[in-house]
Amino acid sequence: MNKNDDLWYALANNNPTKFLPDDITDIILEVIGANDELAWWWVLSLKNGKYVLLSASCDYTGWDCQSSINYEEIFDTIQQAVEASPEKEETYSGRYIRKNLLGQFTGKYPKYTYCDWD
């Protein structure tokens, strides 16, 4: 599995209710965030063969102070998880989340990106 401290700290400080951290088998796609600025977005594979789209954010002090995770449901395919992501992030950044995740999924963009690509 890909090592990702931000994901594990986000989960450790915000308990998901529809899956356990031990259920995660891999980080499939990621849009990197920044404390107090940008949310992190992950598509995760689970032991049961399903996928979850997870977003998380924290304040400038880190995950153990003020942080949150958000996910709607568990999906049957990676494509469904990507399509459930917002087209654009609703922050000042206006990052194109779905475009980034879809670009990673299709191989057009490198995995684990931070910025938008043309």
For residue 115, is it within any domain?
no
Q: Which of 36-45, 60-69, 108-117 is predicted least confidently?
A: 108-117
Output the CA–CA distances (angstroms, integers) from residue 47 to 65, 70, 87, 98, in the order listed.
30, 20, 28, 24
Q: What is the pTM of this model?
A: 0.90
Predicted confidence (pLDDT) per residue in 17-30, tens digit: 999 999 999 999 99
Q: What domain range is 83 assigned to? A: 5-106
- CA proximity to 55, closest of 78, 92, 30, 23: 30
For residue 111, is it within any domain?
no
Report the alpha-carbon distance of residue 15 to residue 95 in Å, rounded.
Answer: 26
Q: How many structural domains compose the chain?
A: 1
For residue 53, is it within any domain?
yes
